[in-house]
Amino acid sequence: METTQLPTVPLGATGLPITRVGFGAWAIGGGDWEFGWGPQQDQASVDAIHRALELGVNWIDTAAAYGFGHSESVVGRALQGLERRPYVFTKCSLLNDGSGHVVHSLKRDSILREAEASVKRLGVDAIDLYQIHWPNPEADVEEGWAAMAELKEQGVVRHIGVSNFNVEQIRRAQAIAPVETLQPPYSLIEREVEAEILPAALKDDIGVIVYSPMGSGMLTGAMTRERVEAMPDNDWRKSDDWFTEPRLTRNLALADRLRAVGERHGMSAGAVAVAWTLLNPAVSGAITGFRRPDQVDPIIDAVWLKLTEDDLAEIAADADA
């Protein structure tokens, strides 16, 4: 597979040189679970992964929870036969209750079993970055993090990190073993982490990869009120606050502003949304989700986009309305 070159930055203290955007594999888990994205064709997922790798993306972020193993299996299929594989990041702690709904576990034995299963599904010798998906149950954070450190010591995983943790929870984990990375939600419509979490990560040299930089599709420029209404019932977004009133109207107006900024640069609204997250000095990379190969090129452009002060002012217009 011929690949182009994209700029890389170190992922915090891990030293992993990652591209500023990575392939997010949440949506390719399909719709048959609590937070699914509706029907998905696996071959389209594989083709999307291959297109991202051709363009130079060098990491994939998935999770055992995405389709309860389905996303990891599809990623493993896409990696087969590659001469040089990308870094593979995945997560643990969300389990299937038997009916497609999520239950949380941070028990040591559960995490060790999940890691073994993920390695098999992905077809890798070791997981490059293993992350606790959610800090639930909170009382078990220490037990869960000790298990993560154990996996790293055993060589089952190369680096360990957390997702959706607050500063206090990160500190509790750090008392056991270094927290190497953090994966929080971050976008123009979800900015809560700017206040404390991102500054703390920057101070401690914790590598940050943000998820949903395009607001789970809201800020791609392709979302419309009609498209939201037509979403299948097994797409979690259909009833989410971002996609329903009163936020829907405001979010679509923001997407329109991103589209206008993108047109000046010859780029997509989604690329503008992703590039905006990369301006934060704490952020090493952004996780960008794709379901088809044709969706990849317009978003990968974000790594080259230099937003101006005028661009930022236009994006921020009516932000406090």
Determine whether 66 is an active site residue: yes
Find out whether 238 and 230 touch, Cβ atoms under 8 Å. Answer: no
- Report the distance separating Cα 206 and Cα 283, nearest Å: 10
- Report the distance separating Cα 45 and Cα 71, nearest Å: 9
Q: Which tokens is 70 given?
A: 């389905």
Phi and psi (nearest 5°) for 159? Answer: -140, 155
Task: Report residue 227 CA to chain centroid gap.
Answer: 23
Catalytic pick from 66, 87, 186, 211?
Answer: 66
Catalytic (active-site) positions: 66
